[in-house]
Structure 1
Amino acid sequence: MIKWIAIIPIRFYQLFLRKRIDRECIYTPTCSRYTIAAIHKHGPVKGWKFGLLRIQRCNGAMYKGGVDEP
């Protein structure tokens, strides 16, 4: 139940905000899907932590991207 509460903001972003932001994720899976997978695998706190760290790496300046699983 708590996992689903942690996922609600991500789903909101995926459904309503992603299309308004003109940017492509350099990773596979996308950062939002990665965060959801991390929440399912590690729980809400660690999942969000891993997701936020991934988003920090998603600027493309220092990292080339590619496949990055949680």
Structure 2
Amino acid sequence: MDGHGKRTARIAARDEYLLKKIIIYFLDVYKVCISPYIPTACRFYPTCSTYMQEAIQKKGVFRGLACGLKRILRCNPFSPGGYDPVK
């Protein structure tokens, strides 16, 4: 890889790191400021917001968001719920 390619890779990694931190920060804000005032509805353990955070940390921003959104769509009254860790 030439110098320009290494620099571009470093910038992309930094940008993904910052985006990951921002998304996780907003999920933390949701869990502290909004979630306590909404009746518990999540049918899974860990909760959907915690699942999304773990998925983003393990799989990266875009794959983690996709996994988290799929989980939110599965969390409905017709789902049996239960233990569902990030794989």
TM-score relative to the length of structure 1: 0.88
1:23 aligns to what? 40
Partner Cα separation in structure 1 for residue 40 and residue 76 of structure 2: 10
Which residues of structure 1 form unaligned runs of 5+? none
Partner Cα separation in structure 2 for residue 56 and residue 27 of structure 1: 12
Mark the structure with the bigger radius of gyration.
2
1:12 aligns to what? 29
1:69 aligns to what? 85
Partner Cα separation in structure 1 for residue 75 and residue 33 of structure 2: 20
Which consecutive aligned stretches of 4+ in structure 1 deviate over 3 angstroms post-superposition? none
Alpha-carbon distance, 1:24 to partner: 2.8
The alignment covers a number of residue pairs equal to 69
Whichever structure has more helix as a proportion of its residues is 2
1:29-61 Cα offsets, whole Å, 9 max, x none, are 000110000001100111111111101111121
Higher relative CO (Cα under 8 Å, sequence separation at least 6) belongs to 1
